[in-house]
A = this chain, B = another copy of it.
Amino acid sequence: MADLLKALGEFNRLSLVYELCECAKPRNAMCLCDCCSVDSSVASRHLKVLAQEGVVRIERKGRERMYSLNRAEVAARLRALADQIEG
């Protein structure tokens, strides 16, 4: 759980998540890269971290990689923590 929170607890990574929140369809890395003003290599690494924690899902589409949010799963994990904390 700490790893998930750490993944979400970085400003640019959370920005990527918020950006994906607004997208009904998967987005490629170049598009996502624009929302946080960092190099594409940096966005790539951030997205990799998010993928490792199951926050985003990657779908290969030719030479592009389309990212989308694992909405239900992430929401469920956050709610589980909230429930545990509320006791």
Q: Which residues does A use to contact B, with CB under 8 Å?
A: 1-11, 14, 17-18, 21, 69, 71-72, 74-76, 78-79, 81-87
Contacts and interface: CB of A to CB of B under 8 A. Distances in A.
Given A2-B14, A3-B9, A5-B6, 6 more contacts: A5-B14, A6-B9, A17-B85, A69-B85, A71-B87, A78-B81
How many chain copies does the complex carry? 2
A84 B22 CA distance: 10
A83 B87 contact: no
Closest 4 CB pairs of A and B: A5-B9, A6-B9, A75-B82, A78-B82
B17 A1 contact: no
Contact of A74 (B10, B74, B79, B82): B82
